[in-house]
Amino acid sequence: MAEEIVTLTSLIKRTCAESSNSLAIVTPGRPTLTYAQLDAAVDEGASQLLRAGIKPGDVVAITFPNSIEFVVTFLAAIRARAVAAPLNSAYTEEEFLFYLEDSRSVLIIVPASGNAAAENAAMKLGLPIAEGKWKGSNGVDFISRHKFSLSSYAVDVVGVKNEVDDEALFLHTSGTTSRPKGVPLTQLNLSASIQHIIPAYELGPNDRTVIILPLFHVHGLMAGLLSSLVAGGTVVLPSAGRFSATSFWDDMRAHCATWYTAVPTVHQILLEKHKAKPESSYPNLRFIRSCSASLAPAVLEQLEAAFRAPVLEAYAMTEASHQMCSNPLPAYGSRKPGCVGKPTGIKLAILDDEGRELPFGQVGEVCIKGLNVTKGYKNNPDANKVAFAFGWFHTGDRGFLDEDGYLTLTGRIKELINRGGEKISPLEVDAVLLAHPAVAQAVAFAAPDSKYGEEVNAAIVLSEGASATENDILEFCKKNLATFKIPKRIFFSSDVPRTPTGKIQRRIVAEHFLSSV
């Protein structure tokens, strides 16, 4: 599709009108919504928020599992010209305090079953609390739990006009290398990103997907939910409200899913389950998408062989309203090994430390421009000064472009291991470790060293039923890595620390394992 300067709300409104009788949302064992019903439920929810005194620019925090209530509440908030701030329902009270205060939320909406940690935090901050409760007439009622009330007069939401510059979504970075930063995204940012995602995967009304990633994160929200809704497809929300390896393929088959998107951790869980006990059959998928962290080439090949579908790796971040690059829909074998694809609808360049654009093949920092890119972090001038230098947004990732415009990432700038002046990408070490047949998960990280300053260490999780010694792993590395890149020490573990969305936290991994030395 040609990129339009329009709001996300208008794109969804258009689809609701064009696909009014088609299924939009399905939750096994719960009500379903057609696009017409979704449109009515969103407008009704927006009207209630306006009656509660929500004004344009007010931040409304939302903490639900993946559910119809989340979808309607989120869309209702932005329809009312508020800013939706989805939060992980598993946060502790202290975490809720930080996120509510940092986002300057004026209201938090919780499930009808409540959320003690969120509510305790909100009361400490003096915030109103409402519960979002599904009602029989295909909508959500917002009911007071603390200091929340609706005025008695009716509000005609038809007269409320969303603007492209309206801030619509407030998220925090995952904090993989530093303290989470607040990222405001406008209606135009979201609209532009979705208009990049849909043509990249040729999404349309015949597509169905099961949402297994949390909707409080940009990956599941943008690529899974909102892109599907704008494309007129059907979204299936698991009845448990989260990913379950036990029921995933049952849901995919039952609802004739045509694709799914996930983080590498989820792909590896599904792959391990397949190796232990394959399904009797797998759905005929158009493609499988992987994003939010690097997918090792060996794992990608195993996924394609196991589930008989092309695996398309993509590159994204919160500050870009998710997607920046993606591998194209194949023919098998059209992918370039190790590449995260070509830019999708944005301008991308590799810059050196002086802000000069580097030629093909040279490694530098990945920098971007585009309508999907945030205008700046909220209340963080120091971070903005660094991130937006030279007129580009600096991703903090290192990589290079080839002559065909494909991007290869070599690692995060802050995660590079500096061994005596040699800069080592932990992604490269990860990929080799994951190619070992006994290894299910692997994380390389920097460890302090008196001689070299930093040395390569790694934590690995073995595949179920597999066995390998440290010497076995190191001998394998010697065949596939330069000597200075071989881990000095291997830690065996049953798991490694990750963010709630499955990203590897190398600094936390390092702290965890090195503290036991």
Residues forming a β-bridge with 400: 408
CA distance linking residue 384 with residue 375, whole number of Å: 9
pLDDT confidence bin for 285, thresholds 50/70/90 = very high
For residue 42, which amino acid is it?
A: V
CA distance linking residue 488 with residue 482, whole number of Å: 13
Residue 73, pLDDT score? 98
Q: What is the tens place of the pLDDT at every residue in 463-505?
A: 988 999 999 999 999 998 888 899 999 999 998 887 766 677 7
13 domain residue, yes or no: no
Placement of tokens 């007010």 in the chain: 58
Q: Quick one: average pLDDT of 44-68?
A: 97
Tokens of 195: 């208009």
Q: Which of 231-235, 370-374, 411-415, 483-487 has the lowest mean pLDDT?
A: 411-415
Do 376 and 438 share a domain, yes or no? no
Give the domain-ending residue among 117, 147, 162.
162
183 domain residue, yes or no: no
Taking all residues of the chain, what is their mean pLDDT, rounded to a whole number? 92
In 3D, which of 165, 340, 343 has the Cα closest to residue 264?
340
CA distance linking residue 464 with residue 494, whole number of Å: 10
**Residue 191 phi/psi, 5° resolution?**
-60, -45
Q: Quick one: what percent of the chain has pLDDT higher than 70?
A: 97
By the 10 Å C-beta count (0-12 exposed, 13-18 middle, 19+ buried), 479 is classed as: exposed
CATH assignment at residue 455: 3.30.300.30
Residue 154, pLDDT score? 84
Distances (CA, A) of 459 to 60, 320, 466: 39, 31, 16
Q: Is the pLDDT of residue 312 over 70?
A: yes
Grouping H, G, I as helix, E, B as strand and the rest as coil, residue 12 is helix
pLDDT confidence bin for 163, thresholds 50/70/90 = very high
User: Is the CA virtual torsion 194, 200, 204, 209 positive or negative?
Assistant: negative
177 domain residue, yes or no: no
Residue 502, pLDDT score? 66
CATH assignment at residue 287: 3.40.50.12780
Tokens of 439: 């290894």
Residue 501, pLDDT score? 64
456 domain residue, yes or no: yes
Q: Which of 17-21, 119-123, 344-348, 415-419 has the lowest mean pLDDT?
A: 415-419
Distances (CA, A) of 461 to 295, 314, 469, 486: 16, 25, 12, 17
Do 219 and 271 share a domain, yes or no? yes
Do 153 and 230 share a domain, yes or no? no
Cα of first residue to Cα of last residue in the chain, in angstroms, is 55
Q: Which of 309-323, 463-477, 502-516 has the lowest mean pLDDT?
A: 502-516
167 domain residue, yes or no: no
Residue 500, pLDDT score? 66
pLDDT confidence bin for 304, thresholds 50/70/90 = very high
Residue 515, pLDDT score? 86
Do 397 and 440 share a domain, yes or no? no
**Long-range CB contacts for residues 123-127, cutoff 8 Å, separation at least 24:** 124/97, 125/97, 125/100, 125/101, 127/100
Do 62 and 204 share a domain, yes or no? no
Placement of tokens 């995204």 in the chain: 185
In 3D, which of 127, 216, 108 has the Cα closest to residue 171?
216
CA distance linking residue 165 with residue 186, whole number of Å: 6
Q: Is the pLDDT of residue 367 over 80?
A: yes
CA distance linking residue 322 with residue 496, whole number of Å: 25
Give the domain-ending residue among 394, 413, 432.
413
Q: What is the tens place of the pLDDT at every residue in 224-282?
A: 999 999 999 999 998 777 899 999 999 999 999 999 999 888 998 899 999 999 999 99
Residue 23, pLDDT score? 98
Q: What is the tens place of the pLDDT at every residue in 73-127?
A: 999 999 999 999 999 998 999 889 999 999 999 999 999 999 999 999 999 999 9
Domain of residue 108: give its range.
31-162
Residue 480, pLDDT score? 87
Q: Is the pLDDT of residue 2 over 80?
A: no
178 domain residue, yes or no: no
Q: Quick one: average pLDDT of 368-382?
A: 93
Q: Is the pLDDT of residue 331 over 70?
A: no
Tokens of 37: 């019903």
Do 259 and 350 share a domain, yes or no? yes
Q: Quick one: average pLDDT of 128-154?
A: 93
Residue 22, pLDDT score? 98
> Judging by DSSP bridges, how do beta strands 234-236 and 208-210 pair with one another?
parallel
Do 209 and 309 share a domain, yes or no? yes
CATH assignment at residue 94: 3.40.50.980
Placement of tokens 């962290």 in the chain: 293
Do 404 and 278 share a domain, yes or no? yes
Do 112 and 41 share a domain, yes or no? yes
pLDDT confidence bin for 294, thresholds 50/70/90 = confident
155 domain residue, yes or no: yes
Name the helix (H) or strand (E) containing 249: helix 248-254
88: left (phi over 0), alpha (psi -120 to 50) or beta: beta
- Domain total in the chain: 3
179 domain residue, yes or no: no
More confident residue, 287 or 2: 287
Q: Is the pLDDT of residue 333 over 70?
A: no
pLDDT confidence bin for 338, thresholds 50/70/90 = confident
Q: Is the pLDDT of residue 143 over 80?
A: yes
Do 228 and 303 share a domain, yes or no? yes
Placement of tokens 């991703």 in the chain: 395
Do 42 and 144 share a domain, yes or no? yes
Do 43 and 150 share a domain, yes or no? yes
Grouping H, G, I as helix, E, B as strand and the rest as coil, residue 191 is helix
Residues forming a β-bridge with 140: 134
Placement of tokens 């490269």 in the chain: 428
Give the domain-ending residue among 387, 413, 439.
413
Residues forming a β-bridge with 108: 61, 129
